[in-house]
Structures are given as structure tokens and as C-alpha cells.
Structure 1
Amino acid sequence: MAGREFGGQPELWQFGRRELLAKGWLEPRDLAWQPDPELRAAGGNDWTAAKNSGWSTIQAEIAELQQLMQDDRDRYLAEIDLQADNGPDYIVAFLGAHTGRYPWTIELINCGLSIGNIAYSFYKAAFKRVRPSFLCPGLAPPFGPPGHPSFTSGHSFLAHLMGLLLLEIPGIQSRYGFFPTPNTGAPGGAVPFVAGPIAVAISRANPAVVSWPGNTLRADDPVCFDLPQQLSSAINPGQIYYVLASGLVPNTSFRFSTRIAGPPVDTSADATQTYVIPQNPLPAGGAFNSPLMWLSQRIAKNRERLGVHYSSDTTGSRHLAAAICYSLFHEADPQKRIVCPMLETVKKRAEAEWPA
């Protein structure tokens, strides 16, 4: 039922490439492998640069998978084999849960699986990314690869979504949630979701200058913008731009272009409006200081060790899972909230099984 409720609201979670980036559901590096299809029609230098950059990203990711094959695969293969069709069982065993004592916790995991299978299947069909072993047969996965597309990673998406759903339960948070760094002995806490985009100032000038105090961007880093007021602009919401070395003031401001080291964007004809930089609820791709989310990340990483997923499949799926979980439980805008009454009911009953 939770899956049917979720699937019945496609306008709240089925988005195209640029909309995903403009909303912060994905980060620019998650899609660095794919040339923006909307650049194809115009052709020219932007399309050529996007193709070259995408191919360079794919080659770098395959080189990383070759290293994992040589260094890690044999040591992790037994675990990888068991997780191929039993990822949820790993999480259940980690929690020490079972149907006799924790029936609603198990049902919450089942709800996550039903929602997740619908979501990741849609995005696999949308992006149609070929498996790494198709481009590099020498990766030689010992079994598989699955016949469906690579992006998103079903294992990464489901593992992260299940972990995030379970950490909505306070009793699980205190045991397996996010712990302070350095560890003070305090119990674990809730998922530290990042709420909302970051407002920035962009000059109406040629070249345009983005003022963003405290940013950590460097030359050639990708960046996306959104325009909440949807007024005319030289900036396209959800298009990936690149920080230029010229005019870069670290932690303060930068110029940007449609391609690496390209001509700066000219916003002198823009209407006066608000610009924001989207933020994923769980930004970037570093390690989690949470035992449960560490396990989710391990399950996802093992698919790279097997040679059937790229690293951007892993991080992109993590970001999508975080965005969907945030939309299910924490989205304050009723127009964007994904409402699943059955999921809410199951979660409340599962909370009673875990005294805080």
C-alpha cells in the first residue's frame, strides 16, 4: 500500500535531469558522466566539451573499478554474494530485529523496499546508463551484471533509503544514529538533513560574478543554480556550470562558464531576481558517522567492488534516497511533500518497538 501511495504521486518525485539538479535531488558530480542532452540541439563547443568531459569521467571511474577489482574483490566476494539478493537481511541482522519482537520495524523496511523499487526503476529507465563491464569487459564480474541499466544503483538506493527510514525512529537513532565528532559518549542523533538551497547574489554584468561567502569551490568545480521566481535569465536552472580560475576569490566569489575554462556567462540582460544554489539533504559523498548508514554505504560500495556499478551510481543513489526521505517526512512545503499515510502509520507503530 505504501508503494501504491508513493507511486500515485509521480509529479512529486519523477523529474528530468535539469529539474533533479535544480531541486538538489542530485549533485552535479552525480551526472558528470552524462553530457546534458539539452545541449545536443545547439551543438557547438558546449556540446563537444560536455561529451569530452563525460567520457573523461567514465574513464576515471572505470580505472577506479579496476583498482577495486585488483585490491578488494577477492576479500569481499563472500559478503558481496550474500548481499546480491539479501541486502535487507544484513540490515535486519545488524539491528538484531526479528518478526516476533519487531514486526512493525520489519514492515517499515518492507515499505522502504516497495517505495524504493518503484523510484529506482523509474530512474534506471530514464538515464539508461550502460554497465561498466560493458565498456570494460576486463572487469569480469563473477556473476551478473544485471540486465537493467546502471544508474541508479538499486542496492545503493535501497540500502540508504532503508537506513534513513529506520533512523526516523528515535530508539534506533540513539543506538545507530549520527554520533558527534569527536565522540563524547552521547547517544546517537537524527539524520543531519540540510534544509533548503543557499541564496547567492549574482551581479547583472558581463562577466557575471557570484557572491557566496564561505563557499569552498575551486577552479573547474561544477555548480548549478535555480531561479525560484522563474524570470528571464542567461542562467538555465539545473544546467551544470563551471567555476572559472579567472576572477576566483577563494571562499568569497567567482565567475562561471558553460564549460571548463570557457567564456564567462553574461547576465547583464537578466531581470532582477533571486538566485539559489541547490543543496541535497545529505550533500557530498563522504563517510557517515552513523553505524547504520555506514552499513548502507558498505552494501553500496560492494557493488562497485563487484564491478557492476560506478562510484557515481553509488553517490547519486544516496542523494536520491535522501531527497525522497526528506520529502516524505521533513518537507515543510505542502506542495512538495510526498504524503504516504500507510508509511506514517507503520513508522509510528515501529517507534513503539524501540523505547528511546
Structure 2
Amino acid sequence: MERAAINVVGLSKRFGSLVALDQVDFEVRPGAVVGLLGPNGAGKTTVIRILTTILHPSAGRAEVLGHDVVREAGAVRRIIGLAGQYAAVDPNLTGRENLRLIGRLTQLPRTRIRPRASALLERFDLAAAADRPVRTYSGGMRRRLDVAAALVPEPPVLFLDEPTTGLDPQSRNALWELIRELVSDGTTVLLTTQYLEEADQLAERVVVVDEGRVIADDTPAALKAHLGNTVIELDMDNQGHAVRAAEIIAGRLGETPRVEGTRLRLSSRNASGMLRGILNLLDADGLVPRTVAVRESSLDDVFLALTGHRTQAGPAPDSAPDSASTSTSTSTGGPA
């Protein structure tokens, strides 16, 4: 049986009376990308900090390629790369100087530092800007350089903590493609994100975390299929009509829609049949929706069904910035 690249069992973390993680379990197979999904404060970054030896767990255990993150912290640091929520490169150095510095800090053989830096600058489309100070880079360029820095020592396991936060759509798509290339080359990636589309696009499996607990762990397709293949959305004239429509649907069809303001939402495996029944019921009661939409289920729908709220994805991070982008990072920050 293939050994997991990352194995987490009963992981818990307390900060005083605050429980940041509560009996978290999951694993990542070698050469896979797994998404750790959750809203701000769910515990995602705390998991990353424990797995990268920055924090010690209060209970439970975790291993990276068979090495215990507490007892064998040094061995773990030698086989991982970490890109935190913020680009941690030195803005006063050039891109090339940043990568060479990381090479020296991670004790890469001197003969390999220069060619490794050059190869990464090419791969991350930064060669043209390699000798410019990083302070002149765009946000997307800094983020790519930060991920490149985490890859200087060629780690077999890479941790990306909300890598696309604050990026424009073009930069985000470019970084997604780079992550896919890394995985195709055999790198194992654990990715934390608030962006449901990001998890859906990249992850082989999704571990959903809320309030420090794992509430779901499966493939994106399986999570969406469990909810229902199709989502029906009805927009009513006002909230009163929406509440009345929900009561009618629940009473006659046995399906309880979620009401958000004037909008009703429910999932179904038989959307066409259910939609006809809903419209007939509402018409008989004099209720006519302003708009009707039928679409495929998304991870957003899954998360809403599991937690009762959305991920609140946005520019705000779910913790203070990590202090460095590689396994040489140190931090004593609180929960995230």
C-alpha cells in the first residue's frame, strides 16, 4: 500500500481557551494536490503551520513523507517548501538575487544555485524581470517569485497557503497552470484557499474545514453529486413572497428551499421535473418568480449546505502573514 505523503491524525491546537483545531484527520497521496477549504478563521493556516513545523500541535500527530513534524522537524524542513499568504521575498533585491539567497539559506550545493535560480525564473515567466528590484514587480509577479522561492531546494512536498489571494483573474489563472505543472512533475501540493472555484479547478480531493473541524473530505465531483447535480434558483418580488413560496414548496413537495432575501435555492437530481412542479404550485397561489435559473451544483453550494454560510472569500487573509516563504520560516502567531 502506498504511503501517504501527508498524514494527519487527530490533530488539535489550542491557544489558551480558544480551540483552533479539533481532531483534524486527513491524508494526501504522493503527487496529488489536495485543497484545504474553509472561511476566514476556520483553522487552515494553523494546519499549515503545524505541518511545516512552525507550530507544535496540542494533541494528535502529523507526518510528511513518514517524518513526524514534531520529533523529526529538521527532516521535515529539508523536504518541504512553503509559500505563505503574502509574498515574503525581499523587495530591495532582484528576483535573481532572491532565489540565489534562498539557495544559500537552504544549503543547496553552490554549483547548483545559479542554474536553479535561472531555471525557475524561466519557468515562472520572470526571466525578463530577473535583474529588476522586486519592489518594481506587480502583485502577480511577486506571487510567482514567492512560489519559485519555495521551490528552489526542489521539495517533494509543497504547501501553498492561499496563494492567489489578491491576484487579478489573469494572474490567478497563470498561477493555477503553474501548480498543475508542478503536480504533473510529481510534486505533492497541499493548498489552502477560500476560493471555491480554485479548489474545484485544482484539487483531486477537498477537505472542508469549519471552526477547526473537518466537516467533509472527498473529491469535488463526489461532494457536488451528494448535494444534487442541479441547483434551481428563483428570485421573487420581495422577501415575503420568497418566504411564502418556500413554505408552499416545502409543504407540497417535501423539499425545503434555502431563502436568501428574495431568492430561493434548492438542489435536485431531477431539475426539469421539480421545476415544472414548483412553477405550477406557485402559479396556483398567484406567485410568479421574477427570474428562474437552473445550473450545475458548485462547491459554493456544497459549502453552504454543510455549514449554513458561505466562505466569505475576499482579500482579507485568515491570519497574520507568515514570516518567510520557505521551510526556514519561524512564527509564533496565533490561530488562523
Q: TM-score, normalised by structure 2?
A: 0.25
Q: Which has the larger radius of gyration?
A: 2
Which structure shows the bigger proportion of residues in helix conformation? 1
Bigger RCO (CA 8 Å, 6+ sep): 1
Q: TM-score, normalised by structure 1?
A: 0.24
